[in-house]
Structure 1
Amino acid sequence: MCSFAGVFFLLSKILFYAIMPAVWLLALLLGAVVVRRPRWSRRLLVACAVLFVVLTNGALLNEALLAWELPPVRPTQLPTRLDAGVLLTGITKGSKSPHDRVYLSTGADRLTNALWLYRAGRIRRIIVSGGSGEVGGSKTGRSEAAQLATLLRLSGVPPQDILLEERSRNTRENALYTRQLLTQHPEIKSLVLVTSAFHQRRALGCFQQVGLHPIPFPAGYYSANRQATLAYWLLPDAGALANWSILLHELVGYVVYKVLGYC
Protein backbone atom coordinates (compact mmCIF):
# COMPACT_ATOMS: atom_id res chain seq x y z
CA MET A 1 0.00 0.00 0.00
CA CYS A 2 1.09 3.54 -0.67
CA SER A 3 2.06 5.53 2.39
CA PHE A 4 0.35 8.80 3.21
CA ALA A 5 3.64 10.59 2.50
CA GLY A 6 3.78 9.05 -0.98
CA VAL A 7 0.17 9.94 -1.79
CA PHE A 8 0.67 13.46 -0.44
CA PHE A 9 3.76 13.85 -2.65
CA LEU A 10 1.85 12.80 -5.80
CA LEU A 11 -1.16 14.97 -4.98
CA SER A 12 1.09 17.99 -4.48
CA LYS A 13 2.47 17.51 -8.00
CA ILE A 14 -1.02 17.25 -9.50
CA LEU A 15 -2.21 20.28 -7.56
CA PHE A 16 0.62 22.36 -9.02
CA TYR A 17 -0.91 22.08 -12.50
CA ALA A 18 -4.49 22.56 -11.28
CA ILE A 19 -3.71 26.02 -9.87
CA MET A 20 -1.69 27.31 -12.82
CA PRO A 21 -3.31 30.53 -14.17
CA ALA A 22 -2.47 29.43 -17.71
CA VAL A 23 -4.67 26.37 -17.16
CA TRP A 24 -7.52 28.61 -15.98
CA LEU A 25 -7.24 30.77 -19.11
CA LEU A 26 -7.22 27.71 -21.33
CA ALA A 27 -10.27 26.30 -19.54
CA LEU A 28 -12.19 29.56 -20.07
CA LEU A 29 -11.28 29.64 -23.77
CA LEU A 30 -12.30 26.02 -24.26
CA GLY A 31 -15.52 26.69 -22.40
CA ALA A 32 -16.29 29.63 -24.68
CA VAL A 33 -15.78 27.39 -27.71
CA VAL A 34 -17.71 24.39 -26.42
CA VAL A 35 -20.69 26.13 -24.79
CA ARG A 36 -23.64 26.41 -27.15
CA ARG A 37 -25.28 29.50 -25.73
CA PRO A 38 -23.78 32.69 -27.27
CA ARG A 39 -24.55 34.67 -24.11
CA TRP A 40 -22.49 32.33 -21.93
CA SER A 41 -19.79 32.12 -24.56
CA ARG A 42 -19.38 35.91 -24.50
CA ARG A 43 -19.26 35.90 -20.70
CA LEU A 44 -16.53 33.29 -20.68
CA LEU A 45 -14.50 35.26 -23.23
CA VAL A 46 -14.88 38.46 -21.18
CA ALA A 47 -13.83 36.61 -18.03
CA CYS A 48 -10.82 35.21 -19.86
CA ALA A 49 -9.82 38.67 -21.11
CA VAL A 50 -10.18 40.28 -17.67
CA LEU A 51 -8.24 37.48 -16.00
CA PHE A 52 -5.51 37.75 -18.62
CA VAL A 53 -5.13 41.51 -18.04
CA VAL A 54 -4.96 41.03 -14.26
CA LEU A 55 -2.53 38.10 -14.36
CA THR A 56 -0.12 39.80 -16.77
CA ASN A 57 0.04 43.01 -14.75
CA GLY A 58 3.52 42.94 -13.27
CA ALA A 59 2.73 45.55 -10.61
CA LEU A 60 -0.13 43.53 -9.12
CA LEU A 61 2.06 40.44 -9.00
CA ASN A 62 4.93 42.38 -7.44
CA GLU A 63 2.66 43.84 -4.77
CA ALA A 64 1.44 40.36 -3.89
CA LEU A 65 5.03 39.09 -3.71
CA LEU A 66 6.13 42.01 -1.55
CA ALA A 67 3.31 41.21 0.87
CA TRP A 68 4.18 37.50 1.03
CA GLU A 69 7.96 37.25 0.84
CA LEU A 70 9.89 37.81 4.04
CA PRO A 71 12.12 40.91 3.92
CA PRO A 72 15.87 40.55 3.34
CA VAL A 73 18.21 39.95 6.26
CA ARG A 74 21.69 41.45 6.29
CA PRO A 75 24.47 39.01 7.26
CA THR A 76 25.54 41.53 9.88
CA GLN A 77 22.15 41.10 11.56
CA LEU A 78 22.98 37.47 12.31
CA PRO A 79 24.92 36.34 15.38
CA THR A 80 28.65 36.30 14.73
CA ARG A 81 29.10 32.56 14.40
CA LEU A 82 26.17 30.14 14.02
CA ASP A 83 26.83 26.41 14.11
CA ALA A 84 25.28 25.68 10.70
CA GLY A 85 23.19 26.92 7.84
CA VAL A 86 20.45 24.67 6.45
CA LEU A 87 20.32 24.99 2.67
CA LEU A 88 17.07 23.69 1.18
CA THR A 89 17.24 22.22 -2.31
CA GLY A 90 14.66 22.38 -5.11
CA ILE A 91 16.93 24.47 -7.33
CA THR A 92 18.45 21.93 -9.75
CA LYS A 93 17.29 20.72 -13.16
CA GLY A 94 17.62 16.96 -12.91
CA SER A 95 16.00 16.27 -16.28
CA LYS A 96 18.69 18.14 -18.22
CA SER A 97 21.40 16.08 -19.90
CA PRO A 98 24.24 15.28 -20.04
CA HIS A 99 24.27 14.39 -16.34
CA ASP A 100 27.97 15.07 -15.85
CA ARG A 101 27.32 18.48 -14.31
CA VAL A 102 24.86 20.35 -12.10
CA TYR A 103 22.21 22.56 -13.71
CA LEU A 104 20.74 25.28 -11.50
CA SER A 105 17.33 26.90 -11.85
CA THR A 106 16.07 30.37 -10.87
CA GLY A 107 16.41 29.57 -7.16
CA ALA A 108 20.20 29.41 -7.32
CA ASP A 109 20.47 32.30 -4.85
CA ARG A 110 19.79 29.75 -2.12
CA LEU A 111 23.17 28.18 -2.87
CA THR A 112 25.08 31.43 -3.33
CA ASN A 113 23.64 32.92 -0.15
CA ALA A 114 24.56 29.87 1.92
CA LEU A 115 28.07 30.01 0.48
CA TRP A 116 28.21 33.74 1.19
CA LEU A 117 27.30 33.18 4.85
CA TYR A 118 29.95 30.48 5.15
CA ARG A 119 32.66 32.62 3.54
CA ALA A 120 31.68 35.59 5.68
CA GLY A 121 32.19 33.48 8.79
CA ARG A 122 28.55 33.65 9.86
CA ILE A 123 28.09 29.85 9.80
CA ARG A 124 30.56 27.06 10.57
CA ARG A 125 28.96 24.34 8.46
CA ILE A 126 26.38 23.88 5.72
CA ILE A 127 23.62 21.27 5.94
CA VAL A 128 22.19 20.56 2.47
CA SER A 129 18.69 19.11 2.74
CA GLY A 130 16.91 17.45 -0.17
CA GLY A 131 16.59 14.12 -1.95
CA SER A 132 14.57 14.47 -5.13
CA GLY A 133 11.37 16.36 -5.83
CA GLU A 134 10.80 14.51 -9.09
CA VAL A 135 8.11 11.86 -9.49
CA GLY A 136 9.92 8.56 -9.84
CA GLY A 137 13.11 9.85 -8.24
CA SER A 138 16.18 11.61 -9.54
CA LYS A 139 17.09 11.01 -13.19
CA THR A 140 20.73 11.74 -12.42
CA GLY A 141 21.07 8.97 -9.84
CA ARG A 142 22.19 11.58 -7.30
CA SER A 143 20.19 13.46 -4.74
CA GLU A 144 19.87 17.24 -5.04
CA ALA A 145 21.82 17.55 -1.81
CA ALA A 146 24.72 15.63 -3.31
CA GLN A 147 24.67 17.76 -6.45
CA LEU A 148 24.77 21.02 -4.51
CA ALA A 149 27.48 19.62 -2.23
CA THR A 150 29.60 19.13 -5.35
CA LEU A 151 29.28 22.83 -6.16
CA LEU A 152 30.07 23.79 -2.57
CA ARG A 153 33.25 21.69 -2.63
CA LEU A 154 34.25 23.22 -5.97
CA SER A 155 33.75 26.62 -4.30
CA GLY A 156 36.27 25.69 -1.63
CA VAL A 157 34.07 24.49 1.23
CA PRO A 158 35.89 21.58 2.95
CA PRO A 159 33.96 18.26 2.83
CA GLN A 160 33.98 18.05 6.64
CA ASP A 161 31.97 21.28 6.78
CA ILE A 162 29.18 19.88 4.57
CA LEU A 163 26.44 17.62 5.95
CA LEU A 164 23.91 15.93 3.67
CA GLU A 165 20.27 15.03 4.23
CA GLU A 166 19.29 13.09 1.09
CA ARG A 167 15.86 11.56 1.79
CA SER A 168 13.41 14.46 1.83
CA ARG A 169 11.00 15.12 -1.05
CA ASN A 170 9.15 18.14 0.35
CA THR A 171 9.42 20.86 2.97
CA ARG A 172 7.83 18.78 5.72
CA GLU A 173 10.43 16.04 5.18
CA ASN A 174 13.23 18.63 5.00
CA ALA A 175 12.43 19.53 8.59
CA LEU A 176 11.87 15.98 9.85
CA TYR A 177 15.00 14.48 8.35
CA THR A 178 17.18 17.45 9.23
CA ARG A 179 16.13 17.00 12.86
CA GLN A 180 17.06 13.31 12.63
CA LEU A 181 20.43 14.22 11.14
CA LEU A 182 21.12 16.66 13.95
CA THR A 183 20.67 13.93 16.57
CA GLN A 184 23.98 12.59 15.23
CA HIS A 185 25.60 16.02 15.66
CA PRO A 186 24.74 17.31 19.15
CA GLU A 187 27.42 19.96 18.75
CA ILE A 188 25.16 21.80 16.27
CA LYS A 189 22.74 23.92 18.26
CA SER A 190 22.25 27.21 16.38
CA LEU A 191 20.92 27.27 12.82
CA VAL A 192 20.09 29.65 10.02
CA LEU A 193 17.58 28.54 7.38
CA VAL A 194 18.41 29.48 3.78
CA THR A 195 15.62 29.13 1.24
CA SER A 196 13.77 31.28 -1.27
CA ALA A 197 11.96 34.29 0.17
CA PHE A 198 8.55 33.10 -1.06
CA HIS A 199 9.15 29.68 0.56
CA GLN A 200 10.58 30.91 3.86
CA ARG A 201 7.29 31.18 5.79
CA ARG A 202 6.28 27.57 5.19
CA ALA A 203 9.80 26.22 5.67
CA LEU A 204 10.30 28.11 8.93
CA GLY A 205 6.96 26.86 10.22
CA CYS A 206 7.86 23.25 9.38
CA PHE A 207 11.19 23.46 11.20
CA GLN A 208 9.60 25.07 14.23
CA GLN A 209 6.92 22.37 14.26
CA VAL A 210 9.57 19.63 14.67
CA GLY A 211 11.36 21.51 17.46
CA LEU A 212 14.04 23.33 15.47
CA HIS A 213 14.16 27.12 15.62
CA PRO A 214 16.48 28.42 12.91
CA ILE A 215 16.96 32.08 12.08
CA PRO A 216 15.41 32.80 8.65
CA PHE A 217 17.66 34.02 5.85
CA PRO A 218 15.49 34.57 2.74
CA ALA A 219 17.13 34.34 -0.68
CA GLY A 220 16.07 34.18 -4.33
CA TYR A 221 13.56 37.03 -4.42
CA TYR A 222 10.88 37.15 -7.10
CA SER A 223 9.75 40.60 -5.95
CA ALA A 224 11.42 43.86 -6.90
CA ASN A 225 11.39 47.34 -5.42
CA ARG A 226 8.13 49.20 -5.91
CA GLN A 227 8.29 51.99 -8.52
CA ALA A 228 6.23 55.16 -8.77
CA THR A 229 5.94 55.11 -12.56
CA LEU A 230 3.14 54.51 -15.06
CA ALA A 231 5.21 51.80 -16.74
CA TYR A 232 5.40 49.87 -13.47
CA TRP A 233 1.64 49.91 -12.99
CA LEU A 234 0.38 49.61 -16.56
CA LEU A 235 2.79 47.67 -18.76
CA PRO A 236 2.07 43.93 -19.04
CA ASP A 237 4.73 41.42 -18.01
CA ALA A 238 5.10 38.22 -20.05
CA GLY A 239 6.66 36.40 -17.10
CA ALA A 240 3.90 37.30 -14.66
CA LEU A 241 1.79 34.23 -15.47
CA ALA A 242 4.60 31.87 -14.52
CA ASN A 243 5.38 33.76 -11.32
CA TRP A 244 1.70 33.81 -10.33
CA SER A 245 1.81 30.01 -10.61
CA ILE A 246 4.76 29.88 -8.22
CA LEU A 247 3.15 32.22 -5.70
CA LEU A 248 -0.27 30.55 -5.81
CA HIS A 249 1.31 27.12 -5.45
CA GLU A 250 3.14 28.33 -2.35
CA LEU A 251 0.03 29.97 -0.84
CA VAL A 252 -2.03 26.81 -1.32
CA GLY A 253 0.84 24.72 0.03
CA TYR A 254 1.06 26.91 3.11
CA VAL A 255 -2.68 26.56 3.80
CA VAL A 256 -2.57 22.77 3.30
CA TYR A 257 0.44 22.46 5.60
CA LYS A 258 -1.34 24.55 8.23
CA VAL A 259 -4.45 22.37 8.05
CA LEU A 260 -2.35 19.20 8.37
CA GLY A 261 -0.37 20.66 11.27
CA TYR A 262 2.94 20.59 9.40
CA CYS A 263 3.74 24.26 10.01
Structure 2
Amino acid sequence: MFFILSKTLHFLLMPIIWVIVLLLLAVFLKSIKWRRITLLGALGLLLLFSNPFIASEAWRAWEVEATPVKDVGQYDIAVILTGVTSFRENIPDRIHTTKGADRFLHPLQLYRMDKIDKFLITGGSGFVLKEGIPEAEQIEKILLMAGVAEEDILTESNSRNTRENAINTADYLMQQTQYKNILLVTSAFHMRRAAGCFEKAGVNADGFATDFYSSERRFTPDELFIPSADVFSRWHLLIHEITGFIVYKLLGYC
Protein backbone atom coordinates (compact mmCIF):
# COMPACT_ATOMS: atom_id res chain seq x y z
CA MET A 1 0.00 0.00 0.00
CA PHE A 2 2.80 2.44 0.89
CA PHE A 3 4.41 1.78 -2.50
CA ILE A 4 1.16 2.57 -4.38
CA LEU A 5 0.55 5.69 -2.29
CA SER A 6 4.05 6.93 -3.05
CA LYS A 7 3.42 6.52 -6.78
CA THR A 8 0.14 8.46 -6.47
CA LEU A 9 1.89 11.23 -4.55
CA HIS A 10 4.54 11.30 -7.28
CA PHE A 11 1.81 12.29 -9.77
CA LEU A 12 0.16 14.88 -7.54
CA LEU A 13 3.47 16.66 -6.87
CA MET A 14 4.00 17.59 -10.53
CA PRO A 15 4.15 21.41 -10.85
CA ILE A 16 2.61 21.17 -14.32
CA ILE A 17 -0.47 19.55 -12.73
CA TRP A 18 -0.80 22.55 -10.41
CA VAL A 19 -0.63 24.91 -13.38
CA ILE A 20 -3.28 22.94 -15.27
CA VAL A 21 -5.60 22.94 -12.25
CA LEU A 22 -5.26 26.71 -11.87
CA LEU A 23 -5.92 27.25 -15.58
CA LEU A 24 -9.04 25.09 -15.40
CA LEU A 25 -10.24 27.08 -12.40
CA ALA A 26 -9.60 30.30 -14.32
CA VAL A 27 -11.93 29.00 -17.04
CA PHE A 28 -14.73 27.52 -14.97
CA LEU A 29 -14.95 29.68 -11.83
CA LYS A 30 -17.91 32.07 -11.82
CA SER A 31 -16.21 34.78 -9.80
CA ILE A 32 -14.24 37.16 -12.03
CA LYS A 33 -12.01 38.01 -9.08
CA TRP A 34 -11.03 34.39 -8.45
CA ARG A 35 -10.65 33.68 -12.16
CA ARG A 36 -8.12 36.50 -12.30
CA ILE A 37 -6.33 35.25 -9.19
CA THR A 38 -6.05 31.67 -10.46
CA LEU A 39 -4.88 32.87 -13.88
CA LEU A 40 -2.16 35.01 -12.29
CA GLY A 41 -1.26 32.09 -10.04
CA ALA A 42 -0.83 29.81 -13.06
CA LEU A 43 1.34 32.43 -14.78
CA GLY A 44 3.44 32.87 -11.65
CA LEU A 45 4.03 29.12 -11.32
CA LEU A 46 4.97 28.89 -15.00
CA LEU A 47 7.58 31.60 -14.60
CA LEU A 48 8.93 30.17 -11.35
CA PHE A 49 9.17 26.53 -12.36
CA SER A 50 10.63 27.25 -15.80
CA ASN A 51 13.50 29.44 -14.60
CA PRO A 52 16.85 27.57 -14.86
CA PHE A 53 18.72 29.78 -12.39
CA ILE A 54 16.18 29.44 -9.58
CA ALA A 55 15.97 25.69 -10.14
CA SER A 56 19.73 25.26 -10.01
CA GLU A 57 19.96 27.28 -6.80
CA ALA A 58 17.28 25.09 -5.22
CA TRP A 59 19.12 21.94 -6.27
CA ARG A 60 22.41 23.28 -4.94
CA ALA A 61 20.83 23.96 -1.56
CA TRP A 62 19.42 20.42 -1.29
CA GLU A 63 22.05 18.19 -2.86
CA VAL A 64 24.82 16.66 -0.78
CA GLU A 65 28.22 17.90 -1.92
CA ALA A 66 30.50 15.71 -4.00
CA THR A 67 33.41 13.91 -2.36
CA PRO A 68 36.60 14.28 -4.42
CA VAL A 69 37.69 10.89 -5.73
CA LYS A 70 41.18 11.44 -4.35
CA ASP A 71 39.69 11.72 -0.85
CA VAL A 72 37.82 8.41 -1.02
CA GLY A 73 39.42 5.78 1.20
CA GLN A 74 39.46 2.00 0.95
CA TYR A 75 36.10 0.22 1.28
CA ASP A 76 35.17 -3.43 1.54
CA ILE A 77 31.90 -2.93 -0.28
CA ALA A 78 29.93 -0.22 -2.08
CA VAL A 79 26.16 -0.34 -1.66
CA ILE A 80 24.56 0.97 -4.86
CA LEU A 81 20.94 2.09 -4.80
CA THR A 82 19.02 1.53 -8.03
CA GLY A 83 16.29 3.62 -9.68
CA VAL A 84 18.31 4.34 -12.81
CA THR A 85 17.21 1.70 -15.32
CA SER A 86 13.99 0.93 -17.17
CA PHE A 87 12.72 -2.22 -18.87
CA ARG A 88 11.11 -1.81 -22.28
CA GLU A 89 9.09 -4.74 -23.54
CA ASN A 90 9.36 -3.52 -27.14
CA ILE A 91 13.18 -3.33 -26.93
CA PRO A 92 14.13 -6.15 -24.54
CA ASP A 93 17.53 -6.99 -26.03
CA ARG A 94 19.46 -4.28 -24.15
CA ILE A 95 19.55 -2.42 -20.86
CA HIS A 96 18.11 1.10 -20.76
CA THR A 97 19.58 3.59 -18.30
CA THR A 98 18.72 7.14 -17.28
CA LYS A 99 20.78 10.15 -16.24
CA GLY A 100 21.20 8.53 -12.83
CA ALA A 101 23.52 5.90 -14.30
CA ASP A 102 26.31 7.71 -12.42
CA ARG A 103 25.12 5.70 -9.42
CA PHE A 104 26.97 2.68 -10.79
CA LEU A 105 29.43 4.32 -13.19
CA HIS A 106 31.20 6.34 -10.49
CA PRO A 107 31.58 3.33 -8.15
CA LEU A 108 32.91 1.43 -11.15
CA GLN A 109 35.60 4.09 -11.43
CA LEU A 110 36.43 3.61 -7.73
CA TYR A 111 36.56 -0.15 -8.27
CA ARG A 112 39.06 0.29 -11.10
CA MET A 113 41.13 2.47 -8.78
CA ASP A 114 41.12 -0.32 -6.16
CA LYS A 115 39.24 1.86 -3.71
CA ILE A 116 36.36 -0.62 -3.30
CA ASP A 117 36.48 -4.42 -3.35
CA LYS A 118 32.88 -5.45 -4.02
CA PHE A 119 29.47 -4.12 -5.03
CA LEU A 120 26.13 -4.74 -3.35
CA ILE A 121 23.35 -3.58 -5.68
CA THR A 122 19.98 -3.19 -3.99
CA GLY A 123 16.68 -2.69 -5.82
CA GLY A 124 13.84 -4.65 -7.36
CA SER A 125 11.25 -3.68 -9.95
CA GLY A 126 9.66 -0.23 -9.87
CA PHE A 127 6.47 -1.23 -11.66
CA VAL A 128 3.15 -1.03 -9.79
CA LEU A 129 0.85 -3.12 -11.98
CA LYS A 130 3.22 -5.49 -13.75
CA GLU A 131 6.37 -7.46 -13.20
CA GLY A 132 9.71 -6.34 -14.52
CA ILE A 133 13.32 -7.39 -14.42
CA PRO A 134 14.78 -6.26 -11.06
CA GLU A 135 17.02 -3.28 -11.46
CA ALA A 136 19.78 -4.90 -9.42
CA GLU A 137 20.02 -7.66 -12.03
CA GLN A 138 20.14 -5.15 -14.87
CA ILE A 139 22.98 -3.18 -13.30
CA GLU A 140 24.77 -6.44 -12.52
CA LYS A 141 24.74 -7.27 -16.23
CA ILE A 142 26.25 -3.88 -17.07
CA LEU A 143 29.05 -4.30 -14.52
CA LEU A 144 29.78 -7.78 -15.82
CA MET A 145 30.02 -6.41 -19.36
CA ALA A 146 32.40 -3.77 -17.98
CA GLY A 147 34.71 -6.54 -16.82
CA VAL A 148 33.88 -6.65 -13.11
CA ALA A 149 34.49 -10.11 -11.66
CA GLU A 150 31.26 -11.99 -11.00
CA GLU A 151 32.30 -12.81 -7.44
CA ASP A 152 32.64 -9.08 -6.75
CA ILE A 153 28.96 -8.35 -7.46
CA LEU A 154 26.23 -9.07 -4.92
CA THR A 155 22.57 -8.29 -5.55
CA GLU A 156 19.42 -7.75 -3.51
CA SER A 157 16.32 -7.70 -5.74
CA ASN A 158 13.35 -7.40 -3.36
CA SER A 159 13.47 -3.74 -2.33
CA ARG A 160 10.99 -1.30 -3.88
CA ASN A 161 11.81 1.86 -1.94
CA THR A 162 14.62 3.44 0.04
CA ARG A 163 13.48 2.08 3.39
CA GLU A 164 13.42 -1.48 2.04
CA ASN A 165 16.85 -0.90 0.49
CA ALA A 166 18.18 -0.09 3.94
CA ILE A 167 16.41 -2.88 5.82
CA ASN A 168 17.29 -5.60 3.31
CA THR A 169 20.88 -4.42 3.05
CA ALA A 170 21.18 -4.40 6.84
CA ASP A 171 19.85 -7.98 7.01
CA TYR A 172 22.40 -9.09 4.45
CA LEU A 173 25.34 -7.34 6.08
CA MET A 174 24.45 -8.86 9.46
CA GLN A 175 25.02 -12.28 7.89
CA GLN A 176 28.21 -11.18 6.12
CA THR A 177 30.19 -9.67 8.95
CA GLN A 178 33.43 -9.44 6.94
CA TYR A 179 32.26 -6.17 5.38
CA LYS A 180 33.38 -3.49 7.83
CA ASN A 181 34.01 -0.42 5.69
CA ILE A 182 30.88 0.39 3.69
CA LEU A 183 30.33 3.08 1.06
CA LEU A 184 26.74 4.16 0.31
CA VAL A 185 26.27 5.38 -3.26
CA THR A 186 23.21 7.19 -4.58
CA SER A 187 22.22 10.44 -6.27
CA ALA A 188 23.18 13.65 -4.50
CA PHE A 189 19.53 14.68 -4.15
CA HIS A 190 18.64 11.30 -2.63
CA MET A 191 21.55 10.98 -0.21
CA ARG A 192 19.88 12.70 2.75
CA ARG A 193 16.98 10.26 2.82
CA ALA A 194 19.12 7.22 1.97
CA ALA A 195 21.75 7.96 4.62
CA GLY A 196 19.01 8.48 7.21
CA CYS A 197 17.33 5.17 6.35
CA PHE A 198 20.58 3.21 6.45
CA GLU A 199 21.58 4.77 9.76
CA LYS A 200 18.14 3.92 11.16
CA ALA A 201 18.59 0.33 9.95
CA GLY A 202 21.90 0.07 11.77
CA VAL A 203 24.22 0.31 8.77
CA ASN A 204 27.24 2.51 9.43
CA ALA A 205 28.25 3.76 5.98
CA ASP A 206 30.02 6.71 4.43
CA GLY A 207 28.15 8.50 1.66
CA PHE A 208 29.36 9.04 -1.89
CA ALA A 209 27.01 11.33 -3.81
CA THR A 210 26.65 11.08 -7.59
CA ASP A 211 24.24 12.23 -10.31
CA PHE A 212 24.14 15.98 -9.73
CA TYR A 213 21.33 18.20 -11.05
CA SER A 214 22.65 21.57 -9.94
CA SER A 215 24.81 23.36 -12.48
CA GLU A 216 27.64 25.83 -12.17
CA ARG A 217 26.35 29.22 -11.13
CA ARG A 218 26.15 31.44 -14.22
CA PHE A 219 24.62 34.91 -14.45
CA THR A 220 23.92 34.71 -18.17
CA PRO A 221 20.66 35.78 -19.87
CA ASP A 222 19.72 32.22 -20.81
CA GLU A 223 20.04 31.12 -17.19
CA LEU A 224 18.39 34.15 -15.62
CA PHE A 225 15.54 35.00 -17.95
CA ILE A 226 14.85 32.42 -20.67
CA PRO A 227 12.28 29.77 -19.60
CA SER A 228 13.09 26.10 -20.05
CA ALA A 229 10.56 23.28 -20.27
CA ASP A 230 13.14 20.82 -18.95
CA VAL A 231 13.26 22.67 -15.64
CA PHE A 232 9.69 21.57 -14.87
CA SER A 233 10.68 17.90 -14.68
CA ARG A 234 13.68 18.75 -12.50
CA TRP A 235 11.47 20.66 -10.08
CA HIS A 236 9.11 17.69 -9.92
CA LEU A 237 11.96 15.40 -8.93
CA LEU A 238 13.22 17.81 -6.28
CA ILE A 239 9.77 18.43 -4.77
CA HIS A 240 9.09 14.68 -4.75
CA GLU A 241 12.36 13.97 -2.95
CA ILE A 242 11.92 16.68 -0.32
CA THR A 243 8.37 15.48 0.32
CA GLY A 244 9.60 11.90 0.56
CA PHE A 245 12.26 12.93 3.06
CA ILE A 246 9.65 14.69 5.22
CA VAL A 247 7.26 11.73 5.08
CA TYR A 248 10.06 9.31 5.98
CA LYS A 249 11.01 11.54 8.92
CA LEU A 250 7.44 11.67 10.18
CA LEU A 251 7.10 7.88 9.89
CA GLY A 252 10.40 7.30 11.64
CA TYR A 253 12.04 5.64 8.62
CA CYS A 254 15.05 7.95 8.62
Q: Same fold (TM over 0.5)?
A: yes
The answer for the alignment partner of 2:190 in structure 1 is 199
- 1:146 and 2:137 matched: yes
Aligned length: 254
**Cα offset, 1:43, TM superposition:** 1.4
* CA 1:181–1:119: 2 relative to 1, 3 Å: same
1:219 corresponds to: 210
CA-to-aligned-CA distance 1:127-181 (integer Å, 9 cap, x gap): 0000112103533xx2110010000000000110000011000000000001111
Q: What is the percentage of aligned positions where both structures have the same residue?
A: 40
CA RMSD in angstroms comes to: 1.1
2:15 is the counterpart of 1:24: no
Unaligned 5+ residue runs, structure 2? none
CA distance in 2, matches of 1:117, 1:205: 23
| Counterpart in the other structure of 1:50 | 44
Moved more, 94-103 or 29-38: 94-103
Q: How does 1:44-123 map to 2 (within 5 A)?
A: 44-79=38-73, 81-95=74-88, 97-123=90-116
Q: What is the alpha-carbon distance in structure 2 between the residues aligned to residue 12 and residue 102 of structure 1?
A: 25
Unaligned ranges ≥5, structure 1: 1-6
Could you tell me how far apart the structure 1 residues matched to 2:204 and 2:176 are? 16
Q: Aligned partners of 1:24, 1:95: CA distance in 2, in Å?
A: 30
Residues 8-55 of structure 1 deviation map (CA, whole Å, 9 limit, x = unaligned): 111000000111001000000111111122221111111111111011
Q: Which residue of 1 aligns with 2:249?
A: 258
Deviation (angstroms), 1:100: 2.1
Residue 247 of structure 2 aligns with an amino acid whose one-letter code is V
Say if 2:224 is the partner of 1:233. Answer: yes
TM-score norm. by structure 2 comes to: 0.97
C-alpha distance in structure 2 between counterparts of 1:138 and 1:196, whole Å: 25
Decide whether the 8 Å contact of 1:94 with 1:138 is kept in 2.
no
Amino acid at match of 1:124: D
Aligned with 1:108: secondary structure? helix
For normalisation by structure 1, the TM-score amounts to 0.94
Which of 168, 173, 185 is the aligned partner of 1:177? 168
